[in-house]
């Protein structure tokens, strides 16, 4: 997702209380940051923030962390979070370095929503469902890894199915057209709303791995 830089980006990033500027300092201490022992769910590539903000409202007993690499998009997401929300944090960080900011067992679920498909084969290692990333996610969990994945890109979905299966992840709630299925409780991202309005199928799955 590319977006023109806003002139208020720097100020938002500096002053918004939900943005964590030194996330490495909270490795193994995220429960101290949130001041509770509630489960922590991580969205990698939180985009403009609708998904994570809506989840935080609906599930006040879960802590949500949104990871985003692009500054302006992160600032847009931060603006959507109510001032009083205390179960959400945003981080500008690269998903390749998750082990630098999370200790094993700190994360209970990962969301991958409409990740960059990196369609050229030479870039497949950059896909967030590539084996290398799947292996890195395992280091964040105790007992069982849990990933919820959504995309509009059929090629990325097929690639992801293969990667999960090759690594012996257990798949469930697989949907080839989410909005025409009987799945309940879906929260749409901004991209998802756009794609669904064009009657494009949304692909979804849940993947779990026993450690």
Active site residues: 116
Asked if residue 118 lies in contact with residue 126, where contact means CB atoms within 8 angstroms, the answer is: yes
Give the Cα separation of 150 and 166 in Å (integer): 19
Torsion, Cα of 188, 47, 36, 16 (10° steps) = -130
For the chain, the straight-line distance linking the first and the last C-alpha, in angstroms and rounded, comes to: 33
CA nearest 190: which of 66, 69, 51?
Answer: 51
Token digits of residue 168: 């012996």
DSSP 110: E
């Amino acid at each position: 997702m590319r977006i023109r830089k806003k002139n208020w980006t720097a100020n938002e990033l500096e002053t918004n209380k939900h943005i964590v500027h030194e996330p490495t300092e909270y490795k193994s201490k995220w429960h101290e940051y949130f001041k509770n022992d509630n489960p922590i769910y991580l969205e990698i590539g939180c985009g403009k923030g609708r998904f994570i903000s809506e989840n935080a409202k609906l599930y006040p007993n879960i802590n949500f962390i949104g990871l985003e690499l692009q500054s302006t998009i992160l600032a847009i997401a931060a603006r959507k979070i109510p001032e009083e929300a205390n179960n959400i944090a945003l981080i500008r960080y690269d998903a390749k370095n998750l082990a630098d900011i999370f200790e094993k067992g700190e994360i209970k679920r990962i969301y991958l929503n409409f990740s960059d498909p990196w369609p050229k084969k030479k870039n497949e290692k950059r896909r967030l469902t590539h084996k290398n990333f799947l292996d890195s996610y395992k280091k964040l969990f105790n007992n069982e890894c849990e990933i919820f994945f959504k995309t509009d890109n059929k090629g990325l979905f097929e690639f992801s199915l293969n990667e999960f299966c090759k690594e012996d992840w257990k798949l469930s709630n697989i949907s080839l057209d989410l909005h025409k299925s009987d799945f309940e409780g879906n929260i749409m991202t901004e991209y998802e709303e756009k794609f669904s309005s064009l009657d494009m199928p949304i692909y979804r799955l849940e993947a779990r791995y026993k450690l």
